[in-house]
Amino acid sequence: MNDKIASLKSQFEEQLANVLETAQLEEIRVAYLGKKGSITDLLKGMKDLSNEEKKTFGQHVNMFKAEATEKIGAKMKELKELQIKKEIESMPVFDVSMPADTARGSYHPITLVQRECERIFKSMGFHVEDYSEIVTDYECFESLNIPKHHPARDMQDTYYLDNGQLLKTQTSAAQNAIYKKYKDDLINKNIPIKAVFPGRCFRNEATDACHENTFFQMEGVMVGKDINISNLIFFMKTMLSEVFQRDIKVRLRPGFFPFVEPGFELDINCLICGGEGCSSCKHSGWLELCPCGMIHPEVLKAGGIDPEEYTGFAFGLGLTRLAMMKYGIKDLRDLNSGNLKAMDQFTDDM
């Protein structure tokens, strides 16, 4: 019987030495230690032995069983470690000294033109103000001489909240707050109000190459003694020549906005088609960019400023359209597309 153990042992050792995978090892475990395994069979065969033989043979079989169990366990550990090592070796090498990935992202074209405009107006003594995107009906319309049921509201349908507030349709919605914020300095210290306030605007309208439902404007106001249309034209011209760094053809034509009198539309010659007409400018050769005008007396009054003593101008620059012209983007909807590849080509690294 002991010979039987010895030959099984050497067979086991040989098989174990040739194992390369865990599945193979499991097969060996079952073949020797399983319910119908060879070692289990040896134990079962002991019933025919004498008590004395049972004692020594049983001892040897149990020693072999313990030894086989331990060796299978150790082999399993070894194979698993080998497997992990192989996986690690097959992973791509992470080299800390490699140069950084250059596709790091960049500022959005609208952010770039907004910052450029802020820089230009700051250099001319304007404050840059921030204002909320959710405003009241008073801020967006009534304080701007647009009472309820005024037809001018039809042009600026927007998204309303249950509490009656709305997503602002125009940056003009901040005018009233700005006048109230700075009027004391104007009245008591004769410091003119000079502020620009960029912001996101929302309108429920059909979109096309030059209209989005979400777009950016930058409002600007200047209020003081004897402010007139020449001042307005000067600031508009300076801003455009600084942004484009070259002469740009513009035209000023009458425009109606209830909060200015007189009011103008400032159009820019389409830089996509050079004025010949294309889908970006609705085939007119011109793009409405910056409506403006002299602030209506009722609007100054609503802001706590006496229109008999002070005058001012206001403008509402279409920042999204300015980015479109500056970067030659044919369809401004691309600007909201979130397509990094499309945007990357227009912008600098951060």
Instruction: Note the residues at the interface with ligand FA5 (CB under 6 A).
Output: 170, 172, 203, 205, 211-212, 215, 217, 219, 257, 260, 263, 288-289, 291-293, 314-316, 318, 320-321
* In the complex, least distance from residue 304 CB atom to ligand FA5, rounded to whole angstroms: 19
- Rounded CA-CA distance 300/122 in Å is 23
**Chain centroid offset of residue 50 CA:** 84
Phi/psi of residue 342, nearest 5 degrees: -65, -40
CA proximity to 116, closest of 295, 325, 345 = 325
CB 211, CB 293: distance < 8 Å: no
Nearer to ligand FA5, 4 or 211 (CB): 211
* In the complex, least distance from residue 162 CB atom to ligand FA5, rounded to whole angstroms: 25
* In the complex, least distance from residue 263 CB atom to ligand FA5, rounded to whole angstroms: 6
Q: Residue 277: left (phi > 0), alpha (psi -120 to 50), or beta?
A: left
**CA 157 → CA 84, 150, 160, 164, distances in Å?**
62, 12, 9, 14
* In the complex, least distance from residue 92 CB atom to ligand FA5, rounded to whole angstroms: 45
Q: Do the strands 134-135 and 214-224 form a parallel or antiparallel pair, or are they unpaired? A: unpaired
Q: Residue 286: left (phi > 0), alpha (psi -120 to 50), or beta?
A: beta
* In the complex, least distance from residue 259 CB atom to ligand FA5, rounded to whole angstroms: 6
Nearer to ligand FA5, 183 or 321 (CB): 321
Q: Residue 249: left (phi > 0), alpha (psi -120 to 50), or beta?
A: beta
Nearer to ligand FA5, 75 or 168 (CB): 168
Residue nearest to ligand FA5 (CB): 318
CB 263, CB 293: distance < 8 Å: yes
Residue with tokens 């707050």: 177
Nearer to ligand FA5, 120 or 156 (CB): 156
Nearer to ligand FA5, 198 or 293 (CB): 293
- Rounded CA-CA distance 280/285 in Å is 9
* In the complex, least distance from residue 95 CB atom to ligand FA5, rounded to whole angstroms: 46
* In the complex, least distance from residue 85 CB atom to ligand FA5, rounded to whole angstroms: 59
Nearer to ligand FA5, 54 or 150 (CB): 150
Nearer to ligand FA5, 37 or 224 (CB): 224
* In the complex, least distance from residue 216 CB atom to ligand FA5, rounded to whole angstroms: 8
Cα 39-34-58 angle, rounded to 5 deg: 25
Handedness of CA 138, 140, 146, 148 (dihedral sign): negative
Nearer to ligand FA5, 45 or 262 (CB): 262
